[in-house]
Amino acid sequence: MTIAAALPRSPAASAAVLYGMRCIVMRDLRLALRRRGDTLAALAFFVIVVSLFPLGIGPEPALLRTIAPGVVWVAALLASMLSLTQLFADDHQDGCLEQLLLSATPLPLLVLGKMIAHWLLSGFLLALLAPLLALQFGLSAAATASLALSLLLGTPVLSLVGGIGAALTVGVRGAGALLSLLVLPLVVPVLIFGAGAADATSAGLSAAAHYSLLGAMLALALFLAPIAASAALRISME
């Protein structure tokens, strides 16, 4: 079963289903606005981790430019992981998760809506901050743009794959550590090709291959992750 197969054939019914997914996105965004501390904590963590490396290594421009893509990507990965444990945990605690399972809207679409909201509150904001933090490393304008683009392509994969781990660990004691063990090995390719895009641009090479691989991983995760997370939620709630 794919996301496309989950959509009804009738245009009116399809519009109603997509409206349900949009409502989930807006609901999670409104809840995040009421609890700004969680989002700000992840952004502050990202800024602090990236800023510590230039202070610790010292003013060596060549070395800073070399490590910049890897540092920014690792910090973005860890920052996005901070809020993954709450992706389904709050709904599980207040009983909303059972309502989502019983909803007329296909569960994969509702799960996709929650993943989109998570990305908007984490990966998208981190990608916007990355060019400012890259100034500390002396990256060129082209390398900075390449880094931001790789984050825009790669961070959605972190939210999608992380959503599978969050669904598997919902209601489990010590879910944060278990979630990290499940998700981090799966997103290593995203980290490698994301940082590699900026490295290639800095070296004067084309980063098109890296973007293509990130786009392929995003397309694959976009279709498979909501389905896998939905199945994991049903198993976790049994």
The predicted-structure confidence for 84-130, as pLDDT tens digits, reads as follows: 888 888 888 877 888 888 877 888 999 999 999 999 999 999 999 99
Which of 64, 183, 49 minimizes the C-alpha distance to 118? 183
Calculate what percentage of the chain has a pLDDT beyond 90.
Answer: 47
Residues 6+ apart with CB under 8 A from 165: 84, 179, 182, 183, 186
Q: What does residue 199 show for φ and ψ, rounded to 5 degrees?
A: -60, -45
Q: Give pLDDT < 50 ranges for the chain.
A: none
Q: Are 180 and 81 in contact (CB under 8 A)?
A: yes
How much is the pTM? Answer: 0.87
Residue 12 pLDDT: 60
Residue 9 pLDDT: 54
Sole residue written with tokens 């989109």 = 116
Residue 132 pLDDT: 92
d(CA 39, CA 33): 9
> What is the Cα 188 distance to its own chain's centre?
13
Q: Are 107 and 64 in contact (CB under 8 A)?
A: no
Q: What is the DSSP letter of 81?
A: H
> Could you report the per-residue pLDDT of 195-204, keeping only the tens digit for each?
999 999 988 8
